[in-house]
Amino acid sequence: MKRNYYIFSNGRIKRKDNTICLENEKGKKYIPINDIEALYIFGEVDFNSKVLNFFGQNNITVHIFNYYGFYTSSIYPREHLLSGYSLVNQVKKYLDPVERIKLARETINTASYNILKNLKYYNPRRNEKLEDIILKIEKERKKIPYTNGIQDLMGTEGRIRDLYYSGFSIITMGKFKMKKRVKRPPDNPMNTLISFGNSLMYTTVLSEIYRTQLNPTISYLHEPGERRFSLSLDISEVFKPIITDRTIFKLINEGMIDQNHFTKELNFCHLNEKGRKVFMQQYEDKLNTVIKHKELERQVSYRRLIRLECYKLIKHINDIENYEGLKMWW
């Protein structure tokens, strides 16, 4: 089974025959190329074009994070599963406003369904404030089918998200307080965790898109070009509540992460190396969690669910089957 490799240390990455060699003062470590799904680089690493070519040949995406743990860029090899037919249809769906909003609405409809599922799951004693948030989100959610254009839909989405985030301190029993969601740069530990989790989600989805015919730059909810690979943002919406938010709740509620895992500098806050490692471990465990898929009649990992979501989009784009987002059924 291929897996993600995370590199935290500084050093050099080289190609050695059919392996990747990580070299630093502590020594050398070898990884067979066929074992790598994607590479995450957090440390300060040197690499040459020989190794980049090698990644390219083996269709491996490399995601790079800066000193503060913020995602900065990806090395995305040349597309290898091309379908001109499918690409034309993907663009067509974007150009047709009716078709575009249909897909965008289903994305938000699905994301908010999963958001509600989380809120209910973490509210066994029916906390009044959380109940109130749930009701308000349900009300907003009803507006989705009647939204007038992308801007309007984005407004609804924004309100749902604000309501949802206001429930985070309740879910985590006040351990991590967050007044307001602040993104660039995050100003407190909760915002930091959300930002870090969201960028991981973005990269994971991007790696999955790469293994399909979908073009990552053409999206429906987000404007193409908002980020380089904006389709990754679209699909992430569906999976953030399922994968990253649940990872965050677990980390906090089970005391795996605390103030010692953060470093504050001036007015912003970031995860230190220890913190990143704890996060990655839980995130990776989540991706590998398996559940029984009804239609497929087999066990699939959460990571595989992302691929299946890509497949559903391919079918929708090519008018084979209407897209219905993944609504957490478990």
Binding residues vs other proteins (CB under 8 A): 81-86, 211, 213, 295-296, 304, 307-309, 311-312, 314-315, 318-320
Strand 11-16's sheet: what is its strand order?
27-32, 19-24, 11-16, 45-47
Nearest approach, Cβ of residue 290 and other proteins (Å) = 14
Nearest approach, Cβ of residue 82 and other proteins (Å) = 6
Nearest approach, Cβ of residue 83 and other proteins (Å) = 3
Angle at 153 between CA 196 and CA 236, to 5 degrees: 30
| Closer to other proteins by Cβ: residue 289 or 318 | 318
| Closer to other proteins by Cβ: residue 223 or 319 | 319
Measured between alpha carbons, how far is residue 26 from residues 22, 44, 65, 307 in Å? 10, 15, 22, 37
Nearest approach, Cβ of residue 325 and other proteins (Å) = 12
Nearest approach, Cβ of residue 328 and other proteins (Å) = 16
* Spatial contact of 47 and 13, defined as CB atoms under 8 Å apart: yes
Tokens read off for 124: 């066994």
| Closer to other proteins by Cβ: residue 58 or 66 | 58
Instruction: Name the phi and psi angles at 124, rounded to 5.
Output: -65, -30
Length of the chain: 330
| Closer to other proteins by Cβ: residue 140 or 309 | 309
Nearest approach, Cβ of residue 212 and other proteins (Å) = 8
| Closer to other proteins by Cβ: residue 87 or 170 | 87
Tokens read off for 63: 């995601």
Sign of the dihedral through C-alpha 165, 170, 171, 177: positive
| Closer to other proteins by Cβ: residue 84 or 174 | 84
| Closer to other proteins by Cβ: residue 44 or 319 | 319
Angle at 320 between CA 317 and CA 321, to 5 degrees: 90
Nearest approach, Cβ of residue 234 and other proteins (Å) = 17
Burial track 225-259 (b if 16+ CB lie within 10 A, e otherwise): eebebbbbbbbbbbbbbbbbbbbbbebbeeeebee
